[in-house]
Amino acid sequence: MSEWQGRTAVITGGGRGFGKAFGTALAAQGAYAVLIDIDGSVAEAAAAEIRAGGGSAEGLGGDVTDEARIAEVMAQAAAKHGGIDLLVNNAGLHSDEYGQPITTMGLAKVKRLFDVNVLGVVGVTLAALPHLKGRKGASIVNISSSAAHMGGSAYGDSKLAVAGLTITFGRELAPFGIRVNAISPGLMLTETIARELPAETKARVKAMQWLEQDGAEQHIVDALLFLASSKAEFITGETLRVTGGMGAGV
């Protein structure tokens, strides 16, 4: 029997992309997946797909910057199974709009970027904490980015902060038996990215990789399943780079 049987996983940004893939994979192993998305209808549609495939899931609307709503959502998720076993801080802003130079974006957009990508991680973690305490094997996995290790963008800076928060929360939550780790994805050629990414950009990024193969969504899913499992019981405060070598270095 899977160690996820009957356990509860809460995933922000769960309506699409990595978040949806995480929920699908965890539900397939017996977890109850709670998908939180700023668009509640998208979250519920993703949850409905999981249920149609035989898994257990629900979709809830919630903005990670809305402290009261996130506290409500966490309490609702925990009430079904007595607590939360895994929190995945996946929600984040990463569109081309937020990948521009700071001098182009201006202060308002930079504030919004950090409110979601950084303070959102803090707020959601604090809201989930009372429901993670006392759950054997409870853990948190944050989603950073290879951009955090390269410098040169506000987006990368926000994801570097996520890696830093992973260390801080790893230390602070260790006394409660809660592990905190992060995944730093490189270029993952999901269907959408493969379709929309200019060929020259793909070639430039792949030239920075050590491995020739394309990164895929499943590589990140596999990393999550490992870090959240008992196989990683002695790992906390770490950021796992899944970049094909692109993110290697000090």
pTM: 0.95
* Count of CB atoms situated within 10 Å of the CB of 212: 7
Domain ranges of the chain: 8-242
Residue reference for tokens 């990789």? 209
Is residue 79 within 8 Å of 98, Cβ to Cβ?
no
pLDDT value at position 105? 95
Burial, 96: exposed, middle or buried (Cβ in 10 Å; 0-12, 13-18, 19+)?
exposed
pLDDT value at position 152? 85
pLDDT value at position 250? 45
Residue 239's beta-bridge partner residues?
Answer: 182
Tokens standing for 218? 């499943």
Q: Rounded to whole angstroms, how far apart are CA atoms 12 and 88?
A: 6
Low-confidence ranges of the chain (pLDDT < 70): 192, 247-250
Q: Tens digits of per-residue pLDDT, 142-167? A: 999 998 988 889 999 999 999 999 99
Q: Tens digits of per-residue pLDDT, 18-61? A: 999 999 999 999 999 999 999 999 999 999 999 999 999 999 99
Query: Three-state SS string across the chain, please?
Result: CCCCCCCEEEEECCCCHHHHHHHHHHHHCCCEEEEEECCHHHHHHHHHHHHHCCCEEEEEECCCCCHHHHHHHHHHHHHHHCCCCEEEECCCCCCHHHCCCHHHHCHHHHHHHHHHHHHHHHHHHHHHHHHHCCCCCCEEEEECCHHHHCCCCHHHHHHHHHHHHHHHHHHHHHHHCCEEEEEEECCECCHHHHHHCCHHHHHHHHHHCCCCCCECHHHHHHHHHHHCCHHHCCCCCCEEEECCCCCCCC
CATH fold, domain 8-242, is Rossmann fold (3.40.50)
Q: Based on C-alpha coordinates, what's the Rg of the chain? A: 17
Residues belonging to the active site: 155
pLDDT value at position 159? 96
